[in-house]
Amino acid sequence: MLLYLRSAIFILWLIVTVIPWSLAAVVGSVFTRGAPLYWLCAGWLKLSVLGAKWICGVHWRVQGMENVPTAADGQASVILVPKHQSTWETFAIPAIMPHPLAYVFKRELLWIPFFGWAIGRLDMVHIDRGRRSDAWRKVVEQGTRIMGLGTWMIMFPEGTRTPRGSQGEYKTGASRLAVTTNTPLVPIAVTSARCWPRKSFLLRPGTIDISIGKPIAPQGRRPDELMKEIEAWIESEMRRLDPDAYTTPASPAT
């Protein structure tokens, strides 16, 4: 019963805080865009993951942050490619990263009251999944422009959330964009389903591990070959971080 109560309070926390925050972002977008508006919206994401911690006992720990490029590295942009198990990482990754991010997401999210209105004002790529060729062209055109401004892209290679202990199909969208734009990929393993399972609003107390791999350069690589390396690293790392969830080794990338 306590699990249900704490989860309900957390969802109420999200609803109560997103309304004024989103309205502030929409109004603020009239006067400013770019990084200032992004960080305003990222403030709500930080508040959300802190709410999950305070209310539901969902903690996190990060390893590999030294693999994230800094201004001193001279790297203008990267493409983050995380494991996708839960809603949690969509909130948490922008909250912990020191640089503005741009998601590639389905346009239906823009229809969500308040939340959708705010993300619609940010410089991100929203696509129609039913029109694949147009969607890919938009990803390349908008992604190239956004990364040219120094913003990092973030794309979930599995496309959708996968249950704990499972391995989805790794699609080549992110690696194709990396090869096209000559942008390094940064793989990320996340054990979020340990605390916030897929398609559930019940949050269980515990600790989520985030492991950030070293950037992988795309020069001279094929997109499929590049994504196989990403998949192998993420799935191997998932089994190291959450061994109780897996009964089989990582499937060979084919």
- Residue 105 pLDDT level (bands cut at 50, 70, 90): confident
User: Which tokens in the block code for residue 26?
Assistant: 């929409």
Pairing of strands 206-212, 185-190: antiparallel
Note the pLDDT tens digit of each residue in 54-93.
999 999 999 999 999 876 565 678 999 999 999 999 999 9
Provide the CA 137 distance to its chain's centre, in angstroms. 21
pLDDT higher than 80, residue 254: no
Nearest to 96 by CA among 63, 122, 120, 138: 63
Cβ partners under 8 Å of residue 106, min gap 6: 126, 127, 128, 129
CA distance 81 to 253: 16
Mean predicted confidence (pLDDT) in 39-51: 95
Residue 199 corresponds to which amino acid? K
pLDDT of res. 72? 59
CA distance 28 to 96: 23
- Residue 149 pLDDT level (bands cut at 50, 70, 90): confident
Pick 34 or 133 by higher pLDDT.
Answer: 34
pLDDT higher than 70, residue 153: yes
All structural domains of the chain, each given as residue ranges with its CATH number in brackets, are: 2-245 (3.40.1130)
Mean predicted confidence (pLDDT) in 148-158: 92
Mean predicted confidence (pLDDT) in 2-19: 94
pLDDT of res. 61? 97
pLDDT of res. 247? 82
pLDDT of res. 139? 85
Mean predicted confidence (pLDDT) in 13-33: 92
pLDDT of res. 74? 58
pTM above 0.85, yes or no: yes
**φ, ψ dihedrals at 133, nearest 5°:** -65, -40
**In the chain, % of residues over pLDDT 90:** 67
- Residue 251 pLDDT level (bands cut at 50, 70, 90): low
Note the pLDDT tens digit of each residue in 170-229.
999 999 999 999 999 999 999 999 999 987 889 999 999 999 999 999 999 999 999 999
**φ, ψ dihedrals at 251, nearest 5°:** -65, 140
Conformation bin of residue 89: beta by default, left when phi > 0, alpha when psi is -120 to 50 = alpha
